[in-house]
Amino acid sequence: MRISDRLATLVSDGDGWGVFYKARALVAEGVAVTELTIGEHDIPTHPRILEEMHRAARGGHTGYAAVPGTDALRDKVAAHVTERSGVPTGRGNVLITPGGQSGLFAAHMLACAPGDRGLFIDPYYATYPGTIRAAGALPVPVAARAEDGFQPDPARIAAAAAGATSLLINTPNNPTGILYDRDRLQGLVDLTRTRGLWLISDEVYDTMVWEGRHLSPRALPGARDHTLVVGSMSKSHAMTGSRIGWVIGPEPAISALIDLATHTTYGVPGYIQDAALFALDEGAWLEEEIAAPFRRRRDLAAGIFAGCPVVQSAPAQGAMYLMLDIRRTGLSGLGFAEALLDRHRIAVMPGESFGRAAAGHVRVALTVEDAALARALDVLLRFAEDLCREAAE
């Protein structure tokens, strides 16, 4: 039987994650590998959240829940967003989704008709091109260059905007760890408003900011009527497997997205929503507890690479990653990551997994305990120095 073109071409650019799959295969064979690949916490969901999830499930909240989300959770998310962004937000501005990825898909289904162009910043999270294709649109990457600190360039975006209906951004950024500054964000807001584009802002790392402060573009002048914000409990509350997130937007947009949810996900289990409500009610202490190890490891890594001429780190201002420039070794990001895994059993992600703009880089996830991370980064640095010496001989 024929597979639809929509799915057959979903990842036509390849996923670029061969090193990750190889590392997982080695682990399955019993080989010890230090995995610094994906953004998965090295701690489980907090026991108090799990206890509330269990209580809600045992209490009977296991049937169909309201498709847009329970009133209590939508109200809580609205209050949470209002407090964080300063933008008045109500229940009608909130759709609860099965995780941030579902929110990204829904946002593009709203913004893009078949054949439209969906813009996104390169380097990018691996699912972005396929998400845009799944919505029937053409994914169009716009490079944010390493030489510019991986900050997006509004002029480059404007040059690619013909035929586009959306622009997807992500700050704090995965994979680079960069935080977009206010002037840059205002430029993107102005550009998307002038060109009639939806601005889709992926803010799942908004509680993991190490330098400066997170600023949602929705809070900037002229943004509210054409901005969709995607949020999630996955990173902020170590609830990756619970699949609970949201889309924030203008009420007419959210009303349309509720229709989409009715015909796709049909909502999120009630007991998971109850657990999410409990977690948000706990307040900032829980978010800070979950973020603290990544702040500490980011500082640890900064000390290891400080002043290093061979391996240079992009400014890790947020999220749970380092983007390391290894071009002086003479290898591509893919070549370096493969060799590091083969010789030292350390798995990192090639920069090329996240687009052309990250070629010659590797992404390191700060997702193992501190001592193991320090050992792995020391080995990575010595390996890079050895490669440079070999190249010079």
Contact 235, 204 (CB under 8 A): yes
H helical segments located in the chain: 5-8, 18-28, 47-58, 71-85, 100-111, 128-134, 154-159, 182-195, 251-262, 270-282, 284-305, 333-344, 370-392
Find the mean pLDDT for residues 71-85.
97
Q: What is the pLDDT of residues 244-273, one digit of tens each?
A: 999 999 999 999 999 999 999 999 999 999
**pTM of this prediction?**
0.96
Q: What percent of the chain clears pLDDT 70, i.e. is strictly above it? A: 98
In this structure, which CATH number among 3.90.1150.10, 2.60.120.10, 3.40.50.150, 3.30.9.10 belongs to the domain 5-44+291-392? 3.90.1150.10
Instruction: Mention every residue, 6+ apart, whose C-beta is less than 8 A from residue 68.
Output: 74, 94, 95, 96, 254, 258, 261, 267
Helices then strands, counting H and E runs in the chain, come out as 13, 12
CATH code of the domain occupying 47-284: 3.40.640.10
Neighbour tally for 386: CB within 10 Å: 13
Q: Where are the domains of the chain?
A: 5-44+291-392, 47-284
Residue 231 has pLDDT above 60, yes or no: yes
Q: How many whole angstroms from its chain centre is CA 210?
A: 16
Instruction: Name the band, by pLDDT with cuts 50, 70 and 90, for residue 386.
Output: very high
Span 42-60, mean pLDDT?
97
- Identify the pLDDT of residue 16: 67
Residue 90 CA to residue 384 CA, distance in Å, equals 51
Whether 389 has a pLDDT exceeding 60, the answer reads yes
pLDDT score of 13 more than 80: no
CA-based nearest residue to 280, from 243, 249, 236: 236
When pLDDT is cut at 50, 70 and 90, the band that residue 155 belongs to is very high
Q: Please report, rounded to a whole number, the percentage of residues in the chain having pLDDT higher than 90.
A: 93
Q: From CA 44, how far away is CA 41, in angstroms rounded?
A: 7
Judged against a pLDDT cut of 80, whether residue 108 lies above it is answered with yes
Count of residues making up the chain: 393
φ, ψ of residue 163 to 5 degrees: the values are: 80, 0
Tokens of 325: 């420039």
**CB-CB contact of 380 with 42 (8 Å):** no
For residues 144 and 315, what is the distance between their CA atoms, to the nearest angstrom?
A: 14
Q: By the 8 A CB rule, do 124 and 264 touch?
A: no
Average pLDDT over the chain, rounded to an integer: 95
